[in-house]
Amino acid sequence: MPIPDFQSFMLPIMTLASDGAERSLGQIRDAVAPMLGVTDEERKELLPSGTQPVFDNRVAWACIYLHRAVLLQRPKRGWYQITDRGKGVIQEAPEKIDVKFLERYKEFLEFRGKRREPKKPDHGEAVPANPEEALEAAYQELQENLAIELIQTIKDCSPEFFERLVIDVLVKMGYGGSRKEAGQAVGKRGDEGIDGIIKEDKLGLDIIYVQAKRWEGTVGRPEIQKFAGALQGQRARKGIFITTSAFSSDALNYVKNIDSKIILVDGQRLAELMVEHNVGVSPVSTYRVKRVDIDYFIE
């Protein structure tokens, strides 16, 4: 099952803290996981950035919000304990504790930079993410939109430009030796469906045959079979087939069952590689998200 949103951890954390004991963030995580049915495997699931487990991130933000609402206090760094206000909340026996619930407290409103507003009817608005997840979600949306724009821009370019683009991506990924060498290798047609040859590494210990197709329709198995046959004709073992469109399921299954190693790169993957290696894109803004370095403050 999906890991609950960070608000879903608030009531279990408060219930756990109701005994008045001091607990570290790690102890809180270990205790609330079974309360919400979160498995050990689910606890390993990472944020899109890969910097932190989703579960750890959501429990931490739930504790931060409860602390900002003065339902929890921090007797020492990284440890939490219920406050008198928190004990009062537990006595209320609320069905849930979420952001709306915490907005009854002025300290929390000040933390969020909000004023206390008249209560409005609930029209089923979406569950808010914690700030870090909201930032990551916005970043992922920007990346997806950028990939879509890149693919369309590539399709508007000439086949010759597409071949040069492919070379730039492969060189940035570490293939092909120098840009000059790679540029000379690719674009020489006439080898039965092979657009060019590129070094696997800078020393040229092995070579890779490249096919670059700026297509609109789906690339099917016959095209891949033709490329595989061309590789066999050259006694080649490795090939990369890059297209602006997509591959059929038959094509994808075919490359899994042949001796030659053929990597299929569709338009979506190509756009992702371009973004990752800064080919055809340029940075607009940089936001560095920082957190407190607890080790620095250890005396």
Same domain membership, residue 266 and residue 190: yes
- Is residue 68 situated within a structural domain? yes
- Is residue 296 situated within a structural domain? no
* DSSP secondary structure string for all residues of 274-298: HHHTTSS-------------GGGG-
Same domain membership, residue 151 and residue 113: no
Looking at residue 96, its pLDDT comes to 94
- What CA–CA distance (Å, rounded) separates 222 from 241? 13
- Is residue 127 situated within a structural domain? no
- Is residue 20 situated within a structural domain? yes
Pick from 296, 299, 228, 294: which is nearest to 77 by CA? 294
Same domain membership, residue 175 and residue 113: no
Same domain membership, residue 162 and residue 222: yes
Same domain membership, residue 185 and residue 104: no
Tell me which amino acid residue 260 is. Answer: S
Same domain membership, residue 201 and residue 99: no
- 10-40 CB burial, b ≥16 within 10 A, e <16: bbbbbebbeeeeebebeebbebbbeebebee
Same domain membership, residue 67 and residue 13: yes
Looking at residue 247, its pLDDT comes to 94
Tell me which amino acid residue 242 is. Answer: I
For 87-108, how does the pLDDT look when each residue is reduced to its tens digit (9 = 90+)?
A: 999 999 999 999 999 999 999 9
For 200-229, how does the pLDDT look when each residue is reduced to its tens digit (9 = 90+)?
A: 776 667 788 888 888 878 899 999 999 998
- What CA–CA distance (Å, rounded) separates 18 from 7? 18
Residue 57, CA atoms < 13 Å, CB-side half-sphere: 23
- Is residue 179 situated within a structural domain? yes
* The two structure tokens encoding residue 273: 């590689």
Stretches in the chain below the pLDDT threshold 70: 114-128, 176-195, 202-204, 294-299
Same domain membership, residue 151 and residue 58: no
Looking at residue 99, its pLDDT comes to 93
Containing structural domain, residue 48: 6-118
Q: For residue 74, give the CATH number of its domain.
A: 1.10.10
Looking at residue 62, its pLDDT comes to 94
Looking at residue 294, its pLDDT comes to 65
Looking at residue 242, its pLDDT comes to 92
Tell me which amino acid residue 206 is. Answer: D
Q: In what order do the strands lie in the sheet with 207-213?
A: 196-199, 207-213, 238-243, 261-265
Q: For residue 166, give the CATH number of its domain.
A: 3.40.1340.10
- Is residue 125 situated within a structural domain? no
Looking at residue 191, its pLDDT comes to 43
Write down which residue in 118, 134, 168 finishes a domain: 118
- Is residue 283 situated within a structural domain? no
Looking at residue 4, its pLDDT comes to 93
- What CA–CA distance (Å, rounded) separates 220 from 170? 23
Helix (H) or strand (E) holding 211: strand 207-213
Entry field: residues in the chain = 299
- What CA–CA distance (Å, rounded) separates 249 from 235? 26
- Is residue 137 situated within a structural domain? no
> In Å, how far are 117, 132, 202 from 71, measured between CA atoms?
21, 22, 59
Q: How many folded domains does the chain comprise?
A: 2
Same domain membership, residue 114 and residue 164: no
